[in-house]
């Protein structure tokens, strides 16, 4: 659901900028959705300051250690 991805991105517990040479910037974020499931999201940070979630999925195991 879109609201799940938005909540996970807005209330992220962990944020890591993804290295890009091009605009817009991208961030990998880990956060919980409306059902308390941990999601990994990729968010575009536009030049205007607006943010757009372009990827969301259940967090992979390799990211769980980042929250400990």
User: pLDDT by residue for the chain (68 residues), tens digit each?
Assistant: 899 999 999 999 999 999 877 889 999 999 999 999 999 999 999 999 999 999 999 999 999 888 88
pLDDT of residue 43: 98
Question: What is the reported pTM?
Answer: 0.90
pLDDT (0 to 100) of residue 28: 96
CB atoms within 10 A of CB 63: 14
């Amino acid at each position: 659901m879109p609201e799940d991805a938005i909540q996970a991105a807005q209330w992220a517990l962990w944020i890591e900028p993804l290295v890009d040479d091009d605009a817009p910037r991208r961030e990998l974020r880990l956060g919980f959705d409306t059902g308390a499931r941990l999601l990994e999201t990729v968010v575009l940070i536009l030049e205007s300051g607006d943010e757009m979630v372009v990827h969301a999925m259940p967090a992979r195991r390799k990211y769980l250690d980042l929250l400990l």
